[in-house]
Chains A and B, each alone.
Chain A
Amino acid sequence: MSNENKTQEQEVLERIDSQVKNNPVVIYMKGTPQMPSCGFSSRAAQALLETGEKFAFVNVLADPLIFEYLPKYQDWPTFPQLYIDGELQGGCDITLELAESGELKKMMSDANAKHAEKQGEADA
């Protein structure tokens, strides 16, 4: 039993890891930015939308395995979780703090620019 579980856990953690590394900005949330299913996810997604910067999202309610294993990925117990340039920034509170100070937009735009550059190199 433990063996099988471990394989599944590893498979899911690897999937999360590649989402986090392949998207300059990604938020794991309950619902979608247009139809959030939780107040915390809603406020965090709204802050991201307000920056006008591009971001990806994963609806954890639509993927029970990600819902189950994401808290283990960076040992962060709650949703939403915001990753910028591969690094966990935090949940709703931190996202709003960063938005308030203006840092959020800059971090997102830097990460998007860095990623676009990498893509360009890969295409060349």
Chain B
Amino acid sequence: MSPEKIRELIKAELPDAQVTTSGEDCNFTIEVTSEAFIGKPPIQCHRMINDIFKPYLESGELHALSIKTKAPEA
């Protein structure tokens, strides 16, 4: 999966998201900043991102995803 596709999928759910990716092919680290994370515990933020990629992890298109979520600085 390409970094562009990853960004696209996240933006479809979280239009304000700032996304940076590193890593390659099937093993990505993504860092997402969005207002949607404000006031939420980390597990909820991660679930929001995990849910987006669940079908791709299940199909094997993505093997591993390392996630970092942040709320924008006020």
Q: Chain A: residues with CB nearer than 8 A to chain B?
A: 77, 88-94, 97-98
**Bound-state Cα–Cα, A77 to B53, Å:** 11
B42 x A77 contact (CB < 8 A): no
Q: Report Cα–Cα, A94/B54, bound state, in Å.
A: 18
Chain B residues, CB < 8 A from A77:
50, 54, 57
Residue in B43, B46, B67, B68 with the greatest tally of chain A CB atoms within 10 Å = B43
B residues within 8 A CB of A89?
Answer: 42-43
B66 within 8 A of A: yes
Given A77-B57, A93-B67, also A88-B42 (CB < 8 A) = no
| Least distance between A71 CB and chain B CB atoms (Å) | 11
Residues in B neighbouring A94, C-beta threshold 8 A: 42-43, 46
A91 to B50, CA, bound (A): 12
Q: For B42, B66, B68, which residue has the most chain A Cβ atoms within 10 angstroms?
A: B42
Bound state CA distance, A28 and B72, in angstroms? Answer: 32
Distance in Å from the Cβ of A90 to the closest Cβ of chain B?
Answer: 5
**Chain B 26-68 interface mask (CB, 8 Å, partner A; 1/0):** 0000000000000000110010001000100100000000111
B66: A residues at CB distance < 8 A: 92-93
Chain B residue numbers with a CB within 8 Å of A90 are 42-43, 46
What CA separation (Å) do A45 and B68 show in the bound complex?
19
Contacting pair A98 B42 (CB below 8 A): yes
Q: Which partner residue on chain A sits nearest B70 by CB separation? A: A97
Residue of A nearest to B54 (CB): A77
Question: Does A88 lie within 8 Å of B43, measured CB to CB?
Answer: yes
What's the minimum C-beta distance from B28 to chain A, rounded to whole angstroms? 12
In the complex, A91 Cα to B43 Cα: how many Å? 9
